[in-house]
Amino acid sequence: MDVVTAQAPVPASLEVSGLAFAYPDGHQALFGVDMTIGRGERVALLGPNGAGKTTLVLHLNGILTGGAGTVTVAGLPVGKKHMAEIRRRVGIVFQDPDDQLFMPTVREDVAFGPAAAGMRGPELEARVHKALSQVGMAEFADRPPHHLSFGQRRRVAVATVLAMEPEILVLDEPSSNLDPASRRELADILRSLDVTVLMVTHDLPYALELCPRALILSEGVIAADGPTGELLGDEDLMGAHRLELPFGFDPKTVKARTSG
């Protein structure tokens, strides 16, 4: 008789439970956020200005701590004990790529994180090449970042995070200031990555294109969680949380191209 050994379930990429946070000036930004994101999911985080999106994101890799509730990344609680590993596993790509690019060449920017973690020699070179290849920028490795277009710099900023081989890629307004071609190129890249993605965006059509699931954060709590097309198509829900689609855009008529 064969004995079947039960395998332990794979932990979710991200689990947030009862997360509340107030700034030193007394402003309460989060009032008890609960959410779970499975491995490999692409999820959009939507919400009006002031909803608490940035505060929530800064808790995911321990930049902000000290409030109530818990954040767990791939089974590891966010806290001092695991902070170095948490910051490797949660890679944040900021809205302005120039906030992340500061070295003389693209290669050095992408190598910075792994090198700081102790990686050297051929292993480091291979890691840099892989990350740049993932975003289609390998041929620009020796170029100064400031000689690149804005869209190219954004792709290099993504590569600086991918070089750390993160569990979760957090993108802050990834489509902002991109021309249509750069926007499409970035979408193709994000669909190709084997990584969990949390995309913070006001660009609702981009959220529909890339993320099968969306969360609406409003007044410091998760107000809705569901298929992106269904949330965007709910006029009452959208209006209640100050979310507006572009003029003439009807999510019911758009087939989201979310597969890799």
Q: What is the pLDDT of residues 26-47, one digit of tens each?
A: 999 999 999 999 999 999 999 9
User: Hey, how many other C-beta atoms are within 10 angstroms of the C-beta on 108?
Assistant: 17
Neighbours of 165 (CB within 10 A): 15
What integer pLDDT is reported at residue 35 of this predicted model? 95
Whole-model pTM? 0.89
pLDDT in tens, 94-107: 999 999 999 999 99
What percentage of the chain has pLDDT greater than the value 90?
A: 81
Tens-place pLDDT, residues 35-80: 999 999 999 999 998 899 999 999 998 899 878 999 999 989 998 8
Class of domain 14-241: alpha beta
How far is residue 91's CA from residue 163's CA, in Å, rounded to a whole number? 10
26-46 in b/e form (b: 16+ CB < 10 A) is eeebbebbebebeeebbbbbb
In whole angstroms, give the CA distance from residue 96 to residue 102.
Answer: 12
Q: Which burial class, exposed, middle or buried, applies to 76 when counting CB atoms under 10 A from its CB (0-12, 13-18, 19+)?
A: middle
**Domain locations along the chain:** 14-241
For helices 121-134 and 150-162, angle between their N-to-C axes, nearest 10 degrees: 130
